[in-house]
Amino acid sequence: MTLNFDEDYLFSLAKASIEHGLIHGAPLILNPRLQQENYREPAIVGVSIFIGQSNLGCQINSYNKKPLHKAVTQSAYDAGFKDNRFLPVNKNLLSKASIEITFLLDQKSTRSKLTLSELAKEIQKNDTVSLILGSSNAFMFSSMQKFYPDIKEYLKAIRLKAKIPESVSWESITALLTKTEVLEAKPYSEIKCLNTNLL
């Protein structure tokens, strides 16, 4: 997709869906006919919620593209309430939290038969990394790199998330690198609220 949108609107959609989740226990559903054409383009979008260095939730609309507006609202809701690594968010946490929106682009490449050190050298700042071994797989957004002291630790965390046994060599693991574009995080409290009755 061509990244042509109002960033503030996307953040407001994310916030509106989380607020909707707090009240109704479900993501905000928009009328697609009321959305401009660029917000109906298919996209793969992830949303992260965090306070400082602490992650509160991070979810993506899998690798199945959805209309941009739906991808944002679903991922925002899932990050807040469906990431089973964390407790669901609440108003107190959200008052101190920030939101980040990540786009996965159609630029992918694979790496295999590499040691941990060799793989770390291949990872760039805008690479979202998936580690795959048979049916075991997991990923972390490129923006999560900043939460780790170096790329090796970032990769180890993905491996742990994928539950790949320590006995398996790194050379046996395939890495999928997907280029991403990250919208700079915004404090939740500063994101404009939308009148969802008009959506």
Does the pLDDT of residue 3 top 70, yes or no?
A: no
Using DSSP's 3-state secondary structure scheme, residue 54 falls into strand
Per residue in 110-167, pLDDT (tens digit) is 999 999 999 999 999 999 999 999 999 999 999 889 889 999 999 999 999 999 999 9
* Predicted local confidence at residue 107, as pLDDT: 84
What number is the average pLDDT over the span 28-51?
91
pLDDT for residue 197: 61
What domains sit in the chain, N to C, each tagged with a CATH number?
7-103+181-198 (3.30.700.20), 107-180 (3.30.1490)
| Residue scoring higher pLDDT (155 or 1) | 155
Q: Check if the beta carbon of residue 180 is closer than 8 Å to that of residue 103.
A: yes
What 8-state DSSP symbol labels residue 160?
H
- pTM of the predicted model, to two decimals? 0.86
Cα(46)–Cα(61) distance, integer angstroms: 7
At CA 123, angle to CA 70 and CA 103, rounded to 5? 10
Q: Would you place residue 194 in the very low, low, confident or very high pLDDT band (cuts 50, 70, 90)?
A: confident
Q: How confident is the model at residue 85 (pLDDT cuts 50, 70, 90)?
A: confident
Dist. CA 156–CA 150, nearest whole Å: 10
